[in-house]
Structure 1
Amino acid sequence: MFNDRSSALELLKTRRSGRPRDLVAPGPGAEELRQILEIAARSPDHGKLQPWRFVHVPRNRREALAALLQRAYRIDNPRPGRLEVEATDRFAMQAPELVVALFSPKPSPKIPLWEQQLSCGAACMNLLLAAHAMGYAAGWVTGWAAYSDIVRDAFGAEPERIAGFIFLGTPGSELEERLRPSYEDVVGEWQG
Structure 2
Amino acid sequence: MSLKNPAALDFLQSRRSRPAKTLVAPAPNREQLLPLLTAAARSPDHGKLEPWRFVVLEIGALQRLADLTENRAAAMGKNAEEIAKARSQFDMGLLAVTVIEVQKPSEKIPAIEQTYSAGAVCLALLNAALAAGWGANWLSGWQAHDREFCKKGLGLAENERVAGFIHIATESVSPPERPRPDVSALTQWVSE
Provide TM-score, normalisation by structure 1: 0.90
Residue equivalent to 1:175: 175
The equivalent position to 2:85 in structure 1, one of 84, 87, 106, is 87
Give the C-alpha shift of residue 76 in structure 1: 1.0
Is the partner of 1:47 in helix, strand or coil? helix
CA distance in 1, matches of 2:14, 2:166: 19
Q: Are 1:8 and 2:8 an aligned pair?
A: yes
CA distance in 1, matches of 2:4, 2:131: 14
Q: Are 1:164 and 2:164 an aligned pair?
A: yes
Q: Deviations over 1:84-121 (max 9, x none)?
A: 34333322122321111111110100000111111111
Is the partner of 2:122 in helix, strand or coil? helix
CA distance in 2, matches of 1:87, 1:118: 28
Worse-superposed segment, 165-174 or 108-117: 165-174
Cα pair 2:74 2:83 within 8 Å, conserved:
no
Cα pair 2:62 2:93 within 8 Å, conserved:
no
Q: Are 1:52 and 2:63 an aligned pair?
A: no
Cα pair 1:99 1:166 within 8 Å, conserved:
yes
Q: Deviations over 1:18-49 (max 9, x none)?
A: 11111112222211111111111111101011
Worse-superposed segment, 160-169 or 42-51: 160-169
Unmatched runs of 5 consecutive residues or more in structure 1: none
Task: List structure 1 runs of 4+ shifted beyond 6 angstroms.
Answer: none
CA distance in 2, matches of 1:183, 1:61: 40
Residue equivalent to 2:20: 20
CA distance in 2, matches of 1:117, 1:89: 26
Cα pair 1:51 1:116 within 8 Å, conserved:
yes
Residue equivalent to 1:76: 76
Is the partner of 1:178 in helix, strand or coil? coil
CA distance in 1, matches of 2:149, 2:166: 15
Could you tell me the percent identity over the aligned residues?
37
Give the C-alpha shift of residue 4 in structure 1: 6.1
